[in-house]
């Protein structure tokens, strides 16, 4: 069973099987290995694969592997990975965050479930409307960023929804690593 973790928890899981999700921000190809650096909401994770894969900068990956310590630094030896499309990314990040919160709350390892059962349970919690709205907000920020980011007011005025709804979605996008604040109340795509 692979335990979902974030970068801030990596040292607690030395020699354990883990899963991580993040955006690729650096790739280094060496003779017999591929080093990949991914970013998640809490920082960076270094991953080493002992074979070459077609991974590109800004791909979003779910990686399964084992945590190792070398030269006082923690990294993951990658066994498997999958690339996520933008639509699937929001779904899997939400699953990942829920799993992580549940594991911490219970303070025990999660029990094995079938993949289909987990998808069905989480699909009930995630509304299609919210996924569509998140994608629309991401597209709006991407298309209207003139270099300094898009202001909260621009987003609020364009979508005409409640401040609470827009604020909650922006917080989710910030915590999932999709966007960042370039300055107070100005947002940019990562």
In the structure, what pLDDT confidence band is assigned to residue 18 with cuts at 50, 70 and 90?
A: very high
Q: Is pLDDT of 158 > 50?
A: yes
118 has pLDDT over 60 = no
| Its pTM surpasses 0.75 | no
Long-range contacts of range 46-49, CB-CB < 8 Å, 24 or more positions apart? Answer: 46/73, 46/74, 46/75, 46/76, 47/20, 47/75, 47/76, 47/77, 47/78, 48/75, 48/76, 48/77, 48/78, 49/78, 49/81
Domains of the chain and any CATH numbers? 3-84 (2.40.50.140), 128-189 (1.10.10.10)
Please, what is the average pLDDT of the chain? 80
């Amino acid at each position: 069973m692979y335990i979902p973790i974030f970068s801030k928890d990596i040292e607690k899981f030395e020699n354990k099987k883990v899963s991580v999700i993040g955006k690729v921000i650096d790739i280094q190809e060496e003779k017999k290995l591929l080093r990949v650096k991914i970013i998640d909401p809490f920082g960076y994770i270094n991953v080493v694969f002992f074979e070459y894969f077609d991974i590109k900068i800004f791909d979003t990956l779910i990686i399964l592997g084992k945590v190792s310590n070398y030269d006082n630094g923690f990294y993951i030896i990658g066994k498997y990975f999958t690339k996520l499309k933008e639509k699937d990314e929001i779904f899997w990040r939400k699953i990942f965050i829920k799993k992580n919160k549940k594991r911490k709350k219970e303070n025990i390892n999660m029990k094995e479930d079938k993949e289909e059962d987990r998808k069905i349970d989480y699909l009930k919690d995630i509304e299609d409307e919210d996924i569509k709205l998140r994608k629309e907000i991401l597209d709006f920020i991407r298309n209207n960023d003139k270099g300094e980011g898009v202001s909260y007011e621009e987003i609020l005025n364009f979508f005409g929804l409640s401040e609470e709804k827009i604020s909650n979605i922006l917080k989710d996008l910030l915590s999932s690593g999709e966007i960042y604040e370039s300055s107070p109340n100005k947002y940019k795509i990562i």
